[in-house]
Amino acid sequence: MSGTVLTDGTVRFEDSTEGAQVYGKGFFGTLTAGGGLLLDRYEAVYLAEMGRADLRGPTGRKVAWPTVFRRAVKSDLGFAVRYLVYRDLRQRGYVVRASPPPIAFTVLPRGGILHKTPSRYWVEAISERVPFDLARLFDLAERAQSAKKLLLLGLVDEESDLTYYRVRRPSPTGSLPSRALSTPAEGWLSEDRVTVHDSAVATELGKEQAYGSRVGDRLELSLLEAAYLCSVRQLTLRDSKSGRPVPLELLERRARRLDPLFFERLAAYRELRRRALVVKTGFKYGAHFRAYPRSPEHSHARYLVQAAPAAHVAPWPEVAGGVRVAQGVRKEFLVAGVRPDTQVRFLSLERIRP
């Protein structure tokens, strides 16, 4: 089957029979009013590479696959990376169609029929050299969920291997009942932690409400937990050296000097607690938090959570490592994007095989 390569890198089949044959085996191209078929760059390069189309120039001279590929790369910035994702999905048996921005492709479910079966996936193709852009991913995830599509990212590494991530906007929730203390607990601030010495209060806060860690009869709280409990008036603080009261503002200033992301971590912690989740440090997993649906004595952590500014930009390998660790310990990886007004949104990333 012979098609003509056009100047913009697309291919036209003038013969209606040949066009119908190409179209009928995988829904390649767009049928034209005159009975022909027009292939976009991805389709033309793929069919040429697979030996399923004999491509010729306007003079009738054969155009070799490398030439077709080079022309596409020259005329379309980022084509090489997107084509690797297109090619892989086609090899997996999917019907893939190029899409206008903000995504690269729409993909039908396996066995789907073009123009009859709704697309299942929105797929964006990204090089690992392109930074992880949290704001953009929030936008894509919200658009995809509004359109009732599954958003996939096809990450292409420097060796042209692919990793797929499903991205969505979750609503993490737990079931830990919230109970207020009859009187605020008294905590003693020393360097980077707070100690509650009253054993009865330590039991109520530590065992029943899952704050801090019990060490003997006392309760050790992180600065994050202490700041949260002070903000909801369940804790008052005194300095261990001077015995003087420590206002919340002073505690937060001290915490920010120790942790540049304290503002974001506190906002994420507060939101997770508001959603009735138990929140513990995720240090041993390389994350900010582990989040449990109820008491850690009766459940496993469901989420690993990383707090970040809403406009956070980072190298993809950092994010890929977090997702890999989370799935390795059977947890869901969440990024908590914190706006300047302390509003928090969650983004879930899950490595999948489409």
Angle ∠(274,280,282) on CA atoms, nearest 5: 120
Catalytic annotation, pick one of 211, 285, 292, 303: 292
Structure tokens at 185: 């607990």
Range 266-297 burial, b when 16+ CB lie within 10 A, else e:
bbbbbbbbebebbbbebeebebbbbbbbbeee
Determine whether 269 is an active site residue.
Answer: no
Report the distance separating Cα 73 and Cα 217, nearest Å. 68
Is 37:31 a contact under the CB 8 Å cutoff? yes
CA quadruple 115, 117, 122, 127: dihedral sign: negative
Determine whether 115 is an active site residue.
Answer: no
DSSP at 283: G
Q: In terms of C-beta density within 10 A (0-12 exposed, 13-18 middle, 19 or more buried), how is residue 199 classed?
A: middle
- Kindly write down the DSSP assignment for every residue of 327-352, as one continuous string: HHTT-EEEEEEE-TT--EEEEEEEEE
Report the distance separating Cα 109 and Cα 93, nearest Å. 9
Give the position of tokens 């000097």: 257
Is 265:259 a contact under the CB 8 Å cutoff? yes
Catalytic annotation, pick one of 25, 74, 197, 300: 300
Beta pairing partners, 233: none
DSSP at 205: I
Give the position of tokens 């737990």: 174
Determine whether 312 is an active site residue.
Answer: no
Report the distance separating Cα 319 and Cα 104, nearest Å. 21
Which of 341, 189, 309, 310 has the alpha carbon at shortest distance from 255? 189
Active site amino acids: 292, 300, 331
